[in-house]
Chain A
């Protein structure tokens, strides 16, 4: 592929789809080799237990992910006392559900209201609340998201197909320290009497980053 040759050298060219594909093709084999060589070397020198690497991967592929955060949000919707605790001391409230540790040592939950929509970014790197959301998607770590979330958050939301109601403010939280933010989305109408398990199915990863909203139960029924 020579897609790059067709691009003008605009600042966007380096981040379009074509370029990403080219880049992936040219670096994939190289990165495969490089990482394999590094792992072999570290193992042979006695610094690394490869089974520990397996276990770390398994943790984030299977056990830790946005399904954890969805349970926290569903519980906050269903139990006012838990919601209060979550907003007062998110670290303790979330730890009570056994979601603790790396990249979630200090948690703050920020509630969406009719007046204010919250959105989370890390402009300096890729800080993200791992115990409740798992590992961040590629877009969260991308230059486009990190650069624009703080200067034009409504335009960024438009990329996600989200338009906020007229008059709703937008509040962006840039995670520049070891505090990690979890957005508590608004509970959708039409979910009265739902169980926490049912409610959790409406809570998407993006809703907890603030680049999405909780799913509409009617739309979800149609989709299902």
Chain B
């Protein structure tokens, strides 16, 4: 989705506001919002791409104005409501009005350390040979899907060079196909592709400047020179 979240290369947001001795959280609600988001993610009822997709499709003004943990909170509510775990009325009243959905996996305090240390690796075995090799010239395709994608607008149509191959990773664009598990775990080879600043930004590019993105195979095509 060509959403407000796809910010690379936009202008007009002003200088980076750096807070000296910044606290880890600005208010206790941010602390709890982080914990709630991570804990409920362990339910397995959505995946990282569905969570990102929920954040990206919030109303654009909410996305740019809110503190980041407000974006997380709003998206978490959306994920919970979509799956029928809670209702708008329950949220408004702050108390249960409907019976709970049975069988939801609850992350227990004693399981937290192991769950965080394990994470959710995105690599998958593949029997497909990679289509691109390190050193090869590739073009990022001009794709504008309605749904979730991880190909930022600022590289689309531009030519770069493959510098790393990461093996096969779950493809975000398909990982969001189903709202509930089992998810579509289709994987593709993933590459780091580097672009010259002048290729992306033309004559206004800063000197001696390159940018890379991590791009799945279906985001790319070979360039024959």
Given contacts A15-B13, A42-B36, A159-B15, contact A177 B208 (CB under 8 A): no
Given contacts A100-B119, A178-B169, contact A159 B152 (CB under 8 A): no
A164-208 contact mask (Cβ, 8 Å, vs B): 1 or 0: 000111111111111100000000000000000000000000000
Cβ of A36 and Cβ of B32 under 8 Å apart?
A: yes
Cβ of B106 and Cβ of A46 under 8 Å apart?
A: yes
Cβ of B152 and Cβ of A174 under 8 Å apart?
A: yes
Cβ of A49 and Cβ of B109 under 8 Å apart?
A: yes
CA separation between A59 and B221, bound complex, in Å?
42
Say which residue of B13, B32, B68, B213 sits within 8 Å of A35 (CB atoms). B32
CA separation between A29 and B219, bound complex, in Å?
43
Task: Give A contacts to B, CB under 8 Å.
Answer: 10-12, 14-17, 20, 23-24, 27-28, 31-32, 34-42, 44-49, 51-57, 59-61, 100-106, 108, 121, 123-126, 134-135, 137-139, 141-156, 159-160, 167-179
CA separation between A45 and B154, bound complex, in Å?
44
Cβ of B96 and Cβ of A44 under 8 Å apart?
A: yes
Identify 11 new A-B residue pairs, CB closer than 8 A, beyond the known A102-B38, A124-B5, A143-B13. Answer: A31-B73, A37-B94, A41-B94, A45-B96, A46-B104, A56-B39, A102-B115, A108-B164, A124-B152, A173-B212, A178-B170
List the A side residues contacting B29 at CB < 8 Å: 28, 31-32, 34-36
Query: Can you give 7 A-B contacts (C-beta < 8 A)?
Result: A11-B12, A41-B94, A57-B34, A101-B119, A144-B14, A178-B170, A179-B214
Main secondary structure of the interface of B (DSSP, over half): mixed
> Interface size for chain B: under 10, 10 to 19, 20 to 34, or 35 or more residues?
35 or more
Given contacts A60-B24, A169-B208, A169-B210, contact A141 B112 (CB under 8 A): no
A-B residue pairs, 8 tightest by C-beta: A123-B8, A53-B35, A11-B12, A177-B214, A51-B109, A37-B94, A178-B122, A101-B119
List the B side residues contacting A176 at CB < 8 Å: 150-152, 213-215
List the A side residues contacting B11 at CB < 8 Å: 147-148, 151
List the B side residues contacting A105 at CB < 8 Å: 119-123
